Amino acid sequence: MKKIISLGMVVLLLMACNAYAANYTGRTIKAKMASEEIEGDFMTVWARNFSDHMRDWSGDKIRIDVYPYGTLGATGDINELAQMGVVQFVFSDHAWISSFVPQAQALALNYIFPSERLPEVLDWMARNGKFLPLLEKAFRKKGLVPLSIMFEGWQWVSSRKDIRTPEDIKGLKLRLMSSKMLVENYKAFGASPTPMTYGEVYSGLQMGLIDAQVNPLFAAASMKFYEVQDYFVLLKGEPFIGIPTVNQRFFDRLPKKVQQEMRRFWVDSIIPAGSWINERNARDMEKMKAARPSLTFREIDDEAAAQFAQMAKTVYPLYRQIGGKGADLLLDALLADIENAQKALALH
């Protein structure tokens, strides 16, 4: 009886493999994907999901090896490797990739996205909007192709001092990702922005080189920033947007069916990945509280958020200057997409 069951299972597995193989019958494709986050964090987890999916979908003929943060260099390095084609894929974010594609800094503008149901807004934009196709044109001029825009949670400011109003952030030496727009955003709030490599942030906080840092909660938990900080404050204005990206030359040489499946995977993942990260961030908050009961987590009130939002709007015109060629068109498309998504989702 056991042999019959075992044989049946083998038959089912063979049938499944044949079904997958029917999706793709071309040559074996091998590629590398670099992630800017450590093992277990959002980008690396979803890069592995992508790798597993393409391997299953192709009947084991498309194999994408994933390299977590630090294995192929720092955050800026891996974007350059993808641009050069040394790695074929990179999972980066809206700030670091802007060193190569300045137009991506539109996504770094604070207080342009709604504070609720953002994965659904990004999903609508990716399927129906004009911003992502325009962003792809800008990426292609730099030898890259963006495959989606992913929500990785909201950015939190951690500090040794409490932040309740813009007055509390004045003069704060605050670490940001490398983006001119982010620097201008926090300058407008009165902070003293200090870009610093991800792997140096903990020691920078510990040694007092910086007073504060900005990251989503899962990053603060994974990198143990909570050990050297006392407050985590949500300003409600800046989502962390991940951009899975592929080398243009590599991508354009793939069969159209493979290109379509890669795009489909990432767009279809926007909402489930958003749910995944919200659950992860909630768990990480509880873990950090358990590790350091004295930690304070909270959101600023609506009055303070409105004050920050007014300050943020003063830097919007700067994007049109530093965002590169076509910045006007991209920003207009982004704002229109957000507005149209909110209408379609009845968020007004």
How far, rounded to the nearest angstrom, does the alpha carbon of residue 175 sit from its chain's CA centroid? 17
pLDDT of residue 70: 86
With CA atoms as reference, report the closest residue to 124 among 344, 346, 279, 348. 344
Question: Which sign, positive or negative, has the C-alpha torsion 162, 110, 80, 29?
Answer: positive
Q: Which tokens is 75 given?
A: 């955050």
What are phi and psi for residue 60, nearest 5 degrees?
A: 75, 20
The residue ranges of the chain whose pLDDT is under 50 are 1-6, 9-19
Q: What pLDDT does 206 receive?
A: 94
Question: Could you give the C-alpha distances from 216 to 59, 65, 227, 233, 241, in angstroms and in order?
Answer: 36, 26, 16, 11, 10
- Residue 234 pairs in a beta bridge with 156, 299
Which amino acid would we find at residue 264?
R
d(CA 313, CA 317): 8
Separation between Cα atoms, residue 323 and residue 102, nearest integer Å: 5
> Could you confirm whether domain 26-344 is CATH 3.30.950.10?
no
CB atoms within 10 A of CB 307: 15
At 230, give phi and psi (nearest 5°).
-120, -25
The per-residue pLDDT for 21 is: 55
Q: Which residue has the tokens 């049946």?
A: 8
Q: Which of 33, 15, 9, 8 is nearest to 85 (CA)?
A: 33
Strand partners, 90: 34, 245
C-beta separation of 24 from 258 below 8 A: yes
Using one digit for the tens of pLDDT, what is the confidence trace for 247-262? 999 999 999 999 999 9
**Which residue is it, tokens 């354009």?**
252
pLDDT of residue 8: 52
3-class SS letters over the chain = CHHHHHHHHHHHHHHHHHHHHCCCCCCCEEEEEEECCCCCCHHHHHHHHHHHHHHHHCCCCEEEEEECCCCCCCHHHHHHHHHHCCCCEEEEECCHHHHCCHHHHHHHCCCCCCCCCHHHHHHHHHHHCCHHHHHHHHHHCCCEEECCCEEEEEEEEEECCCCCCHHHHCCCEEEECCCHHHHHHHHHCCCEEEECCHHHHHHHHHHCCCCEEEEEHHHHHHCCHHHHCCEEEEEEEEEEEEEEEEEHHHHHCCCHHHHHHHHHHHHHCHHHHHHHHHHHHHHHHHHHHHHCCCCEEEECCHHHHHHHHHHHHCCHHHHHHHCCCCHHHHHHHHHHHHHHHHHHCCCC
- Alpha-carbon distance 5 to 11, whole Å? 10
Q: Which of 54, 134, 130, 131 is nearest to 89 (CA)?
A: 54
- Tokens 């209408």 belong to residue: 343
Q: Give the pair of three-digit tokens for residue 42.
A: 């959002």
Could you tell me the two tokens for 66? 């994933």
